[in-house]
Amino acid sequence: MTDGARPATDPGGSPREAATHCPYCALQCGMTLRETGGRVEVLPRDFPTNRGGLCQKGWTAADLLDHPDRLTTPLVRDAGTGQLRPASWAEAMERIVGGVRAVQDRHGRDAVAVFGGGGLTNEKAYALGKFARVALRTRHIDYNGRWCMSSAAAAGNRAFGVDRGLPFPLADLGRARTLLMVGANPAETMPPLMRHVADQQAAGGTLIVVDPRATATARQADLHLQPVPGTDLALANALLHIALTEGYVDRAYVAERTTGFDEVRRTVAGYWPAEVERLTGVPVADLETTARALATAGGAIILTARGAEQHAKGVDTVTAFINLALALGLPGRPGSGYGCLTGQGNGQGGREHGQKADQLPGYRSITDPAARAHVAGVWGVDADELPGPGVPAYQLLDSLGTPAGPKALLVFGSNPVVSAPRAARVEGRLRGLDLLVVADLVRSETAELADVVLPTAQWAEEDGTMTNLEGRVLRRRAVRTPPPGVRTDLAIIADLADRLGAKAGFGDDPAEVFGELRRASAGGVADYAGVSYDRIEAAGGVFWPCPDADAPDTPRLFADAFPTPDGRARFRAVDHRPAAEEVCPDYPLRLTTGRVLAQYQSGAQTRRVAALRRAAPGAFVELHPDLAARLGVGDGEEVRVTSRRGELRAPARLTPTIRPDTVFAPFHWGGAARANSVTNDAVDPISGMPEFKICAVRVERAQA
């Protein structure tokens, strides 16, 4: 079997094959694609993250390639009928370029914005950031990854000097004597990861899960802590309080490798376990057991995920768990550490190379004069011509169409009509734009509102790289070319840049774009200069930072020092504060949101796969039976969940696995069942992360 794609089916009918990676989550499971007679088949492939395993989404990933809903021609909104109609590429591109120029002529360069996605390859994320700043010369670009890992990224940067989801290979989970997962449910969101957890437990390790629901992951745990949503920060401070009082702090590590511990010690002194039990609902005995397991097992890993991070205090919550990890001396030691489970397929690489409002390639700050000069030199433009920082994703979307906000938006790889908080408001903003352009493979809920829709290639039809949750740069390989009438995102971006008269060159060859990315990232925090397609091929993946083609890559960070000016990690004192919106008599319950096994993100793709639709046919609202009894609601009966921002309607699903004061809804569906019609748009002041995971609601039987 070849490692890459064969150029064509041979005369004897031998199939094309390509060793590639799953298009969904950041685990980036290895798989082989085989095309025979026009049909693409998914085969498992042994790779360190999944070890030959795939989840149902991975097994069915090829079902979308020839789906009848797939777009194969551009669409433009007809001025007479108001409906989307087929158009030529020439007409579609002329409509876009004319609209962009008209908006910028009337309102200035920042009146056009770009919104990207965490599923784009590194090459496309890089090209999109360059396009915004060089071709459009707008400061307004951000992406949906802002709603995924931004809080953990900000916390990691200020503590460690770097943001890499896992600063160690995933296989290290199996070596941890104690594994603490906070707000993570990989048994449903990335099932092959649980093979590593199974190794950990089989070797006698302890798994502890913190989650307000008894999820599939929590049910496999040795200990499940079930706190009130929004109280994880207090729980972390209580664990550090116990570690201090019981003598578990690694004082030599703290003295030699960190700064700022004294202020943290004074802060957590006030987090008495009995007080935290009253706040969180987690018994003191379980807090003590957790602290002891982390400190005395001889190796522990703390992982956070969206449950802890998608809050208006997400950065501080993650910081509290990093403080705990540092106090116990975990980061940089084999089989120990702190990490974050990145969600989207390229959530890591997608934010490293220019999609975020405040960053240039290589994870450089756009306000740093040296960074601007370096990147401008690679692009062949004057550094003074590069715009300054924009605003985070939700603030960008909420400003659309307002007097001071952008009047046009170009969307690549995202569906904010379903995925944005306070989604009805965002939908209204999109409807009010002078120009909305969406590049996608299906008519998503966002594409339905667009003035121009551009059909794009799918993952099995393009080459490129992805960076998984470990910081491992991987190859994506095409098994076939896109259908007639469909273009890659790189080709679309290059064509638009050329039509707009961009000074810098834009190519549509992924290898050439990646070569430029390497030069632009050189010397940055996320340094890819030593990464090449050939090196990835030979090694099966390369961990950044990798500044030199002749030097080893970096599977594990922090062994000798942290990438801070003095080589030390930073403690930072953080205090618990209430959720942005607390329960009250009118809204007496807490709503939390999340994923289900058979669906992914906004569901625009997975809801079209027959097998996944059978497994998870529709939305639901999870209620504890005691709560349902008080409300007079039966299992399967439609309920209305109402917040200060809107409502959702879906069948009730009664289960004892959720707290009686909390309800849960998955966010994969649009329409009346759209969970994000209800969620809170309050954001973390540092990361810009919205408070997806908690808002105050009331629940009642839906009226006929």
C-alpha to C-alpha distance for 94 and 37, rounded to whole angstroms: 37
C-alpha to C-alpha distance for 21 and 27, rounded to whole angstroms: 9
pLDDT score at 13: 59
Do 186 and 217 meet the contact criterion of CB atoms below 8 Å apart?
Answer: yes
Do 573 and 236 meet the contact criterion of CB atoms below 8 Å apart?
Answer: no
The reported pTM is 0.96
C-alpha to C-alpha distance for 584 and 582, rounded to whole angstroms: 7
Do 596 and 191 meet the contact criterion of CB atoms below 8 Å apart?
Answer: no
Q: Return the bridge partners of 258, or none.
A: 569
pLDDT score at 238: 98
Q: Return the bridge partners of 580, or none.
A: none
Q: What is the pLDDT of residues 246-268, one digit of tens each?
A: 999 999 999 999 999 999 999 99
Q: Which residues contact 673 (CB under 8 A, 6 or more apart)?
A: 618, 619, 648, 649, 650, 665
Query: Which among 420, 352, 402, 368 has a CA at the least distance from the CA of 115?
Result: 420
Do 364 and 46 meet the contact criterion of CB atoms below 8 Å apart?
Answer: no
pLDDT score at 704: 53
Which stretches of 32-145 are DSSP H helices?
56-59, 89-107, 122-130
C-alpha to C-alpha distance for 519 and 378, rounded to whole angstroms: 7
Q: Scan for tokens 């740069």, then name that residue.
A: 473
Query: Which among 371, 413, 388, 373 has a CA at the least distance from the CA of 527?
Result: 371
Query: Which among 229, 224, 186 has a CA at the least distance from the CA of 207?
Result: 224
Q: What is the pLDDT of residues 95-149, one digit of tens each?
A: 999 999 999 999 999 999 999 999 999 999 999 999 999 999 999 999 999 998 8
Q: Which residues contact 617 (CB under 8 A, 6 or more apart)?
A: none
pLDDT score at 661: 96
CA distances (Å), 389 to each of 355, 362, 367, in order? Answer: 11, 16, 7
C-alpha to C-alpha distance for 406 and 107, rounded to whole angstroms: 8
C-alpha to C-alpha distance for 142 and 414, rounded to whole angstroms: 11
C-alpha to C-alpha distance for 331 and 324, rounded to whole angstroms: 10
Beta strand 300-304 with 258-259: parallel, antiparallel or unpaired? Answer: unpaired
Do 621 and 664 meet the contact criterion of CB atoms below 8 Å apart?
Answer: yes
What amino acid is encoded at 236 in this protein? A
C-alpha to C-alpha distance for 263 and 574, rounded to whole angstroms: 10
Burial class (CB in 10 A: 0-12, 13-18, 19+), 109: middle
C-alpha to C-alpha distance for 652 and 674, rounded to whole angstroms: 14
Query: Which among 475, 491, 588, 494 has a CA at the least distance from the CA of 534?
Result: 475
How many other C-beta atoms lie within 10 A of the C-beta of residue 458? 23
C-alpha to C-alpha distance for 507 and 495, rounded to whole angstroms: 9
pLDDT score at 500: 97
Domains and CATH numbers, the chain: 16-64 (2.20.25.90), 75-147+352-543 (3.40.50.740), 151-340 (3.40.228.10), 589-701 (2.40.40.20)
C-alpha to C-alpha distance for 218 and 687, rounded to whole angstroms: 28
The H or E element spanning position 39 is strand 39-44
> Is the previous residue joined to 545 through a cis bond, with omega within 30 degrees of 0?
yes
Query: Which among 592, 574, 583 has a CA at the least distance from the CA of 211?
Result: 592
Query: Which among 135, 76, 129 has a CA at the least distance from the CA of 101?
Result: 135
pLDDT score at 186: 97
- Tell me the average confidence (pLDDT) per consecutive run of 10 residues in the chain, 704 residues long: 37 78 96 95 96 96 96 97 98 98 98 97 98 98 93 97 96 97 97 97 98 97 98 98 98 98 98 98 98 96 97 98 98 96 91 94 97 97 97 98 97 97 98 98 98 98 97 97 97 98 93 98 97 96 96 96 97 97 97 96 96 97 98 97 98 97 97 98 97 98 80
Q: Scan for tokens 């975020």, then name that residue.
A: 356
Radius of gyration of the chain (CA): 24
CA distances (Å), 203 to each of 193, 198, 320, 332, 369, in order? Answer: 16, 9, 29, 22, 51
Query: Which among 675, 314, 349, 666 has a CA at the least distance from the CA of 531?
Result: 349
Helix axes 510-521, 369-379, angle to 10 degrees: 150
pLDDT score at 503: 81
Q: Which residues contact 374 (CB under 8 A, 6 or more apart)?
A: 364, 520, 522, 523
CA distances (Å), 146 to each of 419, 626, 687, in order? Answer: 12, 36, 8
How many other C-beta atoms lie within 10 A of the C-beta of residue 538? 10
